[in-house]
Structures are given as structure tokens and as C-alpha cells.
Structure 1
């Protein structure tokens, strides 16, 4: 009878404790040897069992846009540094920092030593004691007694709102929900050891429900506020609950996130005694060397909004949540034992409920903790789920960010989601680390999956939007699964070039100068090929979209039928149509394009890359004009609009009139360096400007009439003078000669 068992059967019986772990591993090894020479299945021998109903207009109404994000990760103080680490394949796991706790009396490689940990590694955040309490009107004493998880999440939440282009003032009194995966933390132990008498600050500062509620309280948000602890799945569950709240109408928008910090050695010791930790500080997800997980830390948040509302309001959209779901393992004869059937049923439920075909999913961010049995159970469950819809093999990449930063526990889903968003933004897949040979209990050959181990282009399926799925499984048995789709914004009517007014404010002049430097860094990232290369990626994407439209028009087909990767001859181009394509490329981009060029670059994707690089070489304009391609004015207008409408107006202010990105950077850099003689530049603390305002206006009604007149006449210089003097201005009333949208810009530089 045992000879007829499948991998799934054996794994489930280990989970149900019908077999001991040792018996199960022996059976799995025997099964692996017996199947080693089995020929792979042909895809046509496995019929589709189920076909999800395609998404229609009703589904689009349920789509949730991700319009803002922020995060802190090991070796990365923001999402830009996080992306650099991911694309470089950096392992950010280190020995436990001395400022956390010393190794003496803690570390012992002998697993049997009591009250010791055999692991001395983790993915730790730096500077968890750094916080700007006065920014949030929190007293230094209260801040001292607050769990660092509350402090850091407060700052990350603010940054996520700013990243979306929303000032807290705009959200005040709104139905914006807050959903956070978090736990009570261990900071209370440190406070208690210092014999500080407990008080209200200590109680509220270390209570998990207050972590979410503090956001709602400080920003005066009226949507649901929930702290969620389902262990490792908490932040994905938080996102799901946020989506459900939006669908049910209890939230119009929602902030969702997760946070995990370790301030004491207790967690390491407990999990070490349970023999759960990696013995060498490496997360070998899916690999034959898997020997346990590595603890990690992270803080992350995203801002969610119905897609149709986000498009209507001109929001910056990172990606779209197409579907989500959660379930519970129930009784498995072991409360911490994972259940492959429960995982499979959840995944299929999400695909069926939201009309998602697994063949459209080309990447999965797995739970992938690097354990001998957990990884095979997850892959078996995914394979079983996909096999209900497709028999295709080896088409979907899989990876785990835990190989980079460790298992960030309640923030794990957020770390994985932000990784997906960054990959979609750059259209790249990043390597999953420490993978050489598959775990002996995982059969990748006959599965839809392969482990992605290199930094490479993320190919779309047949010209469709890229889709990814992400899973998280709590050791309490609560599972979560989401499907994310990339978003392509519609083109805007940019109109004629216009002078823009760039405004910026902070609590003090040093913070304002730091903010100006951040904007300079942002511009540098956009225009410097030696930096992140973001502008080039965006340029390639825009040219690809243009070429697909041209190709569809020439061939008389829908754009959906055009493939970026297929060579021209494979979908209907002949000499005549290729000549027409070359002519349009020459006309649109001012470069010489001919049949020889199309032969050298025989697909739209390769042709777009060549056009982007040649434009950069041929344009003899300012550096900003060259690297931003053909719409520097559009970017400048978006910057101005976002800073005007998406930031809180504070005491120390600057405003400047600019015509180019280069001019913007120059003026910001000069201000940051302490210069004051800057043309068309206005700077002042509003305390200094109040006398001017009181002198010019008799009352608020007169002030409003004057501002309306100035706005209608587009007198940017007068607006700048009034704003830096402390006058509130409704920037949405400023006439604009072109369409604008919010964009992701640097957020406030906390002290």
C-alpha cells in the first residue's frame, strides 16, 4: 500500500502525525529514487479540470489599486534601497548586532544546551531607536515607553500616504481604514527590566491594538482600525481584510501593513528549542540543504483604493489586486502543522471567485521559509491547485524574499508584496538566493514552476499584463493568497509646456534642506544611467506601448494580438508592412530606421530597447531632457501637482518658479547648500509672514477673493509669496494647461 502513496499523501500524513517525521522522510526518499527515471508527463495527457469564468466589467469594479507604498527592510531604509538589494541578489542576514544583545550567554551551537540559541543570525533593521516624536505631537517620555514597532510603523504609514500623494489633512474625517499585521512585541520586557513604573503611556505604547488605532487617532480617520495577529500570514490577512472592507463599503480607502521587530533574545531561544531555525544563517528555500528559517525584521505599508476611483482621481497606481482570500487549516492533529489540501482549496477559491486563470500567473512569491517539509507541502499544494486548470509545465517563476532578508514573520507578506510591486515597476524578476538543487521531496520537473535564480526580464504572457501571486501561511493555521496584476496608465494630454511652481515645506529649516536634498536624489535617480536605471526602464515601456499600437494599426489587428517577444515574421509582417513600420519609427523618433535595423532587432521588444538607447545618444540637450525621453515637461508638471496637493503644509516653506527639471534640481541643490540669492525663489517661515498677511488683508473673506483672482489669472509669483507667508491655498483650483497625475516622490525626512 505504501508503494502507491504520492508525495502529497506522505506529506499530509506527516502533518497529521500518522507517520513520524523520520518515517515520512524515508518514504519520500524511497519515492524519489523510484521516480528518478520516470519520463516526464506530456502536457496534453493532463486535461483541464476547471476553467475560471473570465473577469468582466463586474470584476473590474472589484479591482483594488495599490496607490502608495513605503517600507524599511534589513540593509534598506526605503523601498529604493530595497530594490537595489533585491536586483543585486544581496543576502542581508547578519550576525545579531551587538546593540540588540550580546552573544555571550546566548549563543551555543549545541542544540541541547538549555536557554541558549544555536542560531546567531537574523535580518535586522538598523536605527530602530530613531524616531521624530515632536513631528507627531508625541512627548519624548511617551515615545520612550512606546514599542519601536509603533514608532516605526507610524512613520512608514505617513510615508505611504505621502508616496500616494495624499496629505493627512485631505484624509481627515474620511472612511479610511487601517489594517495592520502586528503582535504585542517584547519591548515591554526591556522597559520592565529598567524598573520604570508602569503608567498609561507604557500600557498604550505596548498594546498591539493601539498600533493600528494610533494611526486612526493621529490622522482622524473614521474607517475600521484593526490589529491582526495570525502569525506569519498577518500582513497578507491585513491586506485581504482591507480589500473586504472596501468591497463592503466600510472603507473608501485603506492603509494596510505589517511590522515585526525583535528587541530581546526570547524569540530566538524559543524557536531554537523547537529546532526551527537554520543552523548556518542561510534560508535555503526549495533547496536540498534546507534546514530551518532565519528570523528577520521589516516594516511596510501600502495604501489601497478602488481602481475606478483611483483612475478617476489621477492617482499613481503601482499595481492592482485582482483577488484575495483567506482560510483555516482546521483540525490537522497538530495545531502548527501545515495542510496542503487547505492551501490548495484556498488558491483555487481565489482563482474561481475572481475569474483568474493560473496560466496568466507568471511569478509566485512563495511563503518559502526554507524548511525540509514546509517547502514541499507548499509546492505540492500549488501544483495541485494549478493542475485543476492547466497541464503546462515550467512556465511560472517562483521565489522567496526570505532568502534575502529572513522570515519577517508578521511583516512577511508585506515584504513579499512590495518585492512584487518593485518587480512590476521595473519589469524584472530578481533572484531567489541559495538555490542549487531541489529539495528531494519537490518535483519541479512536472510542475508549472521553476525557481528563478537570476536578475532578468519579466516576460509577459502573450502581451497580457504581468500577474503574480503571493502566499503566506500562519503557523496558527490561517492561510492567505493574493493575485496582483501590473497596471499600465492611459496616456495623458500633456499640452504645451508651462512654467511650474514647486513648493516644499517642513517643521524646520534643517529638515527642509534635507527634503530638498531628497528631491535632488530623486531627480538623479531618474536621469542618471549609473543609478537605478528607472528612467530607462520607463522609456523602454513607453516605446513598447507605442510600437504595439503602430504594429496593430499596420496589421489591422487588436493590440492584444501583438506580442512583444515574437519575431516579426511569426505574426504576419512582410516586406511592405516592415517598411511602413521602419518609416513610422524614423518619423516619430528622429532616427534612421530601415529593414536592416529591423532584421538586427527582429521583435518589438528588442526594437524598443534599441530606440531608447539611440535616443539617449543622439539628443544634444540638457541632461534632464535627454534621459527623460520626450516628456520632461510632463514629469515637471506631475511633480508640481503632487507637491502642491499631496503634502502637508508646515511652518518652514519654499516655493520656486521653474521651467525644466534641470533648473529645479539646481535651485533645490543651492537651497540645500545654504544659498539665499536664487532667482524666482521664495522662502520663509510662516511666523515671519503673518505680519505681511495681516497687513494686506482685512479679513478671511477678502483674502479668499484675492486668492481666487490670483489663481484664475495664474500669477504664480504672487501665489508663491502668499503661500510661503502662511496663506492656505487650494491648489486644485490652479488652472493647468495639461493633464496631470500624482506620482511617487520622496517623503518627509524625519529627524
Structure 2
């Protein structure tokens, strides 16, 4: 027999929630995904709220009302109404703060209630929503004091472990959000205000862009940089660490922890952007795709290339600014077509690895480039690793002679 139990790690020795300010880091490839990441963390915190036992008592919800609410909620996240358990946290079904606000608006409209964003603010289950509704459904006069749970008395999350996990257990991407907080409750409040675009919010920084890497070289290389970070850590200057990180500096968070390290927590992972990736067309023996007429990328198969591929030019100095710009525009179209992205999502300084190119996609793009520009070796995509660099290389290529038919 085999007995399987959940592994419950022991708390880090000597690491406690002592009220010290810590930096909570979130990063993503785009501002939209960064915002989704912040919402996911907020939902995770709410699912770990602890309430007073007296707040759990409530009258049994009316079954008819619960069925109506399940029908209103089902369409928001693509879950069948029958699958929604009235007592389950809606976050378990994929509801985020936006979905909960949308459900509140639907409930207001269904029962002809005046719009009040605060009415359902504490609701996390269908039973919570049912408890707030008027008992006779005839008007707002019947609404009594909500019997939903009051503010939580705490959270079953250790703040030191939460901050440490997000610092050392996640990749440092371009778009960044840093929040300086002293507890889980403090972090939750700042997340709520950040997502509401509160202009008076302090202790929160965002950033990202081309300065990444340049600042790292300037500030942190060598003994001077290590000493600078040590002083910031010992002085407890977490605000400056947060500002450096959101400015693009890749900090070694592990090195900034002196003494015992906390253990990591299970936390939300990267909120990948939903994309429909349907492949239309026939897969050819060479690995490319024949697309139906009228779709981007349609064209005759390229003529076989018998001569060797040209050597990669070491310095495309002959490229003019206008020529490079034209090639870059064509390259944007090809890359968007291969990835299935929107054209505006592709930055000129983005590396192909950052854009998500696999070996298969590199092969497909190389084939498309050969169709459009003449022979382009696959190695060019490894030598010129950004859209802008590849555009300059393509500009320096000799114009292919017209093919005689």
C-alpha cells in the first residue's frame, strides 16, 4: 500500500511577521498582464481571509434565489450554472474583482436595485449575494443590514514568506510593480487602491522600459554596487530598493536577505494572455503552412535555392534609415502573422526569445523571410536577436533578382 499525504513545509527558522516593511514584486511582459497579475494576487489574498466565527452565522439562502444568481454568474466566466456551489468562493471558478463587480451590476439590474458599488463589496460567494438581497424582492425598503461577513480578522498567509516568494521565485520581466507594505492586510489595501488608480496612493511604484540593463551596469557592477545594496539593506531603505527595481535594475534579492531565509509559499503564477491559436491551412513537408487564399502569408512556394546562403554581414553600414524603417514595417507584419499577435504588441527592441519564438517558429519565420526577401539563413535570427537588428540586416541584403517565369 502507498499512503500519499500533502507536503506541508515547516516555517522558516527564525522568520516571523515582525511588522518590518518589505518589497512585494510583480512583473510581466505587458502592462495589461501586470494588472491581471495584481488582480490574481488580490483574489488569492481574499481567499485566505480569516473571519470571526460569529460572522459565519447566517440564514439559509432561498434555493430559488440561488438558482437565479447562479444563472446571472454563469455567463461571466463560462461556467455552467449547475456547477456553481452557493458556498464556494467564486474565485475558485475564475472570478476576479472585475467579474465580481460585473455580477453585482447584473444583480442590481435583475432585482431593480439602485446602483451601489459598496452593496456587494464583501461578497465572495453566491450565498453572500443572496444574503444582501431584499427578502421580498419588491423594493429597496426591504433591504436590511447585510448579514455577509464583516472585515476579516486576519489572513492565513505569512507576509515574510509571501514577499520572499515573489522576490526570488519569479522571473524579473520588463513591466514591474513594487509595493512596500508591512503586513498582508496592508498589502491588500494597497493592491485595491492601485487597481482603482488611486492618485493619492504612496508606497507603490511601477515602471519598465528600455533603461533596463543600462542602470544595472551603471549602479551595481563591482564592489561599489554590492556595497551600495548592502547599505540599503542594513538601513532598511526598502523604498529605494523598490524604486531601483521598477526603474529596470535586476536585483539579486537572494543576496539581500541576511540570516535565515523564509520558505516559499504557493502563490499565483504568471497570468498568460488568452489567445486563440487556430492553425488554418495545410502543413507542407518543409514545415511551413499553406494558408487559404485571402489570408496573410498566402503565396507560391519559394523556388528551391541551390546556391549557398549568404554570409551574415558583420556591419550593415550601407543600410539607410528609411530603408531600415521600411524593412522593419514588413518584419512587423511577418512576425505578427507567425505569432498570431497584434502588430502593435511587437516592440523594435524585443528579442525573439522574449517574443516567445520556439525552434519551430524560428524555422517558419525564416521561411517567410526567404519568400519575401530572398535567401535568409536561419542563423540570422540567432545572430540578430531583436526586430530592429534583423531589420538592419535585411536592409543590407542585396535585392534579389526577379524570378523568370
TM-score, normalisation: structure 1: 0.22
Q: Which has the higher contact order (CA 8 A, sep 6+)?
A: 2
More strand by share: 1
